[in-house]
Structure 1
Amino acid sequence: MLYQKTTQSMIAIFAMLVAVTGSVHAESAAPKLANVTILATGGTIAGTGASSTTTVGYTAATVGVQSLIKAVPELAKVANVTGEQVFQIASENMSNEHWLTLAKRVNVLLAQNNVDGIVITHGTDTLEETAYFLDLVVKSRKPVVLVGAMRPSTALSADGPINLYNSVLLAASPEAAGKGVLVAMNDQIQSARDVSKVNTSTLDSFRSSELGFLGYIQGGKPFFYRQSLRKHTTETEFDIGALQSLPQVDIVYGYANMNPVAVDAFMAAGAKGIIHAGVGDGSLAAKVVPSLKAARAKGAIVVRASRVGQGILARNGEANDDQLDFVAADTLNPQKARILLMLALTKTNSTKEIQRMFYTY
């Protein structure tokens, strides 16, 4: 009888040890979640409408970052998520000062060992511009992902929650490291340099029309098929650490029967650079050429871009850039050419050096 009780006790102790050991092994085998910080800036993803069917005419930037995180409890399964409200604005109000503040905060966070990636919630109207600015000034290989929404948080089939989930998943992914600043919208992964908003309201508004997006997010995993070969983040020569402002660069839009009023007005207002968003391959209207020449003679850098939205702008194609001492925008659209020129002007006033930058970034 005593032998039977002793045996039963030993079996019970052995079973308990097996259970504890198995639990320890299970815990040690569980993957460690990445630490992702969400920096909120406002936009439609934080917007609210008058009813569940309001998808236009809503109010942007009303929902705080903690509410955004709380609305997607599934985030806790893919990362340890924290949030900061950096701004609360509609993205048409994004300024150079906002960019500098945001970029400096991103660099501070990414330098910390307890931050593995960053997600930035943003209004869609200027999301591509903020993304490209960060792509040129962030000094880390850790993932930085911008995300927005085309429908406010109160709408039926709001796209914000799944976009936010995908962006956190992407920022937590080792596969996203070193690929530059990314945009996660509509289950697609886009590069900051090439993506643009191409539709006013549909869910597939963000596209890299000609060069193509980088990959998909499906089944809780990012799938990359290509990456941008242009230099970015840690490979760039731009340092914003001590910058308090950026040089004034303005965009002049080309059209039939164009006149030089806009060029002259921007120069009078102190522009250090002019982006000419010309027709076709960046053609210059005869009426505007004298004002652009005068702008260059006064020291302003003139960059020829195109309003078309796709294709390489040929240097010395529709204008003699060498003779005029102008810069060709390569494949950058006017709004992104403005960003690169502003940063270039913090380094140099040489058109040759600036042209090199346009072919590098």
Structure 2
Amino acid sequence: MKLSIGSMGGTISMTPIDSGNGVVPKLGAKDFIASLPDVGIELHAESLFALPSGHLRFEMLLKALAWAKKQVKDGACGVILTQGTDTLEESAFLLDLFWDREEPLILMGAMRDAQAIGADGIRNLYASIVCAKSPNSRSRGVMVVMNDTIHSPRWVRKSHSLAVDTFCSDGKTYGFIAEGKVEYFCPPLRRMVLETPPAMKKVFLWEQTLDGDVSVLEWVKQTQDGLVIKGFGAGHISLEACKLIDSVIEKIPVIICTRTTDGPTAYETYGYEGAEIDLIKRGALMGGHLSGRKARLLLSAVLGAGGDMRIVQDYLDILVY
């Protein structure tokens, strides 16, 4: 039995260039496992990329997905991908859309570089190994392991720019690792695995702001394949945006999410122009509990695989029981 670890860069891989010039990605997967104690399982390590996570692209993540699936085919009982935390929640959500194996795929990283006092990278990697090799982690899809806590990709978010305990799931934490054991707080969540597209489509994420400029919508409908709006409150847009939104919906799919960090969009509460009842009548889709960032990824994947919007609604429906 073995686990496979693929490194993609991020703070966990970073060390100083020289004094005063900051840290950059330099370490790889084999460096990480050399720092681990005995974990009771064979480890296979490969370096896939060496980038800060803001430099990752869709095609790179799809290559990492293919690599992870090959590891399982070759006998791995689980796979761990290390990357930067800046886009960790997005990478995890995207990969979870396409992960069709029973074996767990864990994403993790670090908030402190490898030479910092109290560096958390190896600790997080050790916890990820404990999680990945647990039989109870099977059939749970992709998970994020940080700070001894297990998160589902659909709920996890980075809540603080620098704190070690930055990742949270707003009351929907999946599990915890204590005394070398995995403790899950609920059975495996309902999942929906999508067809992996040959390429992701361009979907623009736009946040509504007080008296904000709406002229970007003209550009969006000419250049993008889809639009996700982080709306006010329960999923609302300004009166000025209402003047342009119909012409956008005529050309591309539009999903309305909330710009708040917790809670769903409404469906049948507010009746004024630009509120959810009005937007649904215009042809927009309400994003429910899904954040704008993740709705963008979902829509991009669905459009890349043919554009059946019923798949988007089916996915949104599995988020709640």
- Same-fold call, TM cutoff 0.5: yes
Counterpart residue number, 1:341? 299
Does structure 2 retain, via aligned residues, the 8 Å contact 1:47–1:59?
Answer: yes
| Shift in CA distance, 141/331, structure 1 to aligned 2, threshold 3 Å | same
Counterpart residue number, 2:27? 63
Partner of residue 239 from structure 2, selected from 274, 286, 294 = 286
Q: How many equivalent residue pairs?
A: 313
Q: Give unmatched runs, 5+ long, in structure 1.
A: 1-33
Q: Does 1:92 align with 2:92?
A: no
| Shift in CA distance, 328/227, structure 1 to aligned 2, threshold 3 Å | farther
Deviates more, 1:324-333 or 1:289-298: 289-298
Residue by residue over 1:54-89, the C-alpha shift from the partner in whole angstroms, topping out at 9 and shown as x without a partner, is 9xx8424221221111122x1x33321111111111
Q: Give unmatched runs, 5+ long, in structure 2.
A: 270-274
Query: Please, what TM-score do these two structures have when normalized by structure 2?
Result: 0.91
Does structure 2 retain, via aligned residues, the 8 Å contact 1:315–1:321?
Answer: no
Q: Equivalent pairs: percent with the same residue?
A: 26
Partner of residue 126 from structure 1, selected from 74, 87, 98 = 87
| Residue aligned with 1:288, SS | helix
Residue by residue over 1:28-73, the C-alpha shift from the partner in whole angstroms, topping out at 9 and shown as x without a partner, is xxxxxx3100010000011114799x9xx8424221221111122x
Does structure 1 retain, via aligned residues, the 8 Å contact 2:28–2:46?
Answer: no
Using the alignment, how far apart are the partners of 1:293 and 1:101 within structure 2? 37
Partner of residue 304 from structure 1, selected from 256, 261, 264 = 256
Deviating beyond 4 angstroms after TM superposition, the runs of 4 or more aligned structure 1 residues are 350-353
Using the alignment, how far apart are the partners of 1:334 and 1:231 within structure 2? 19
| Residue aligned with 1:305, SS | strand
Does structure 1 retain, via aligned residues, the 8 Å contact 2:109–2:146?
Answer: yes
Does structure 2 retain, via aligned residues, the 8 Å contact 1:128–1:197?
Answer: yes
Counterpart residue number, 1:186? 147
Counterpart residue number, 2:179? 219
Using the alignment, how far apart are the partners of 1:337 and 1:68 within structure 2? 33
Does structure 2 retain, via aligned residues, the 8 Å contact 1:51–1:155?
Answer: no
Q: Does 1:196 align with 2:150?
A: no
Using the alignment, how far apart are the partners of 1:159 and 1:277 within structure 2? 33
| Shift in CA distance, 86/343, structure 1 to aligned 2, threshold 3 Å | same
Amino acid at match of 1:80: E
For residue 229 of structure 1, report the CA deviation from its aligned partner: 2.8
Amino acid at match of 1:214: Y
Deviates more, 1:140-149 or 1:338-347: 338-347
| Shift in CA distance, 322/351, structure 1 to aligned 2, threshold 3 Å | farther
Partner of residue 142 from structure 1, selected from 98, 103, 123 = 103
Deviates more, 1:134-143 or 1:317-326: 317-326
Deviates more, 1:93-102 or 1:257-266: 257-266
| Residue aligned with 1:303, SS | strand
For residue 129 of structure 1, report the CA deviation from its aligned partner: 0.6
Counterpart residue number, 2:218? 264
Using the alignment, how far apart are the partners of 1:345 and 1:120 within structure 2? 26
For residue 183 of structure 1, report the CA deviation from its aligned partner: 0.9
Amino acid at match of 2:61: W
For residue 266 of structure 1, report the CA deviation from its aligned partner: 2.7
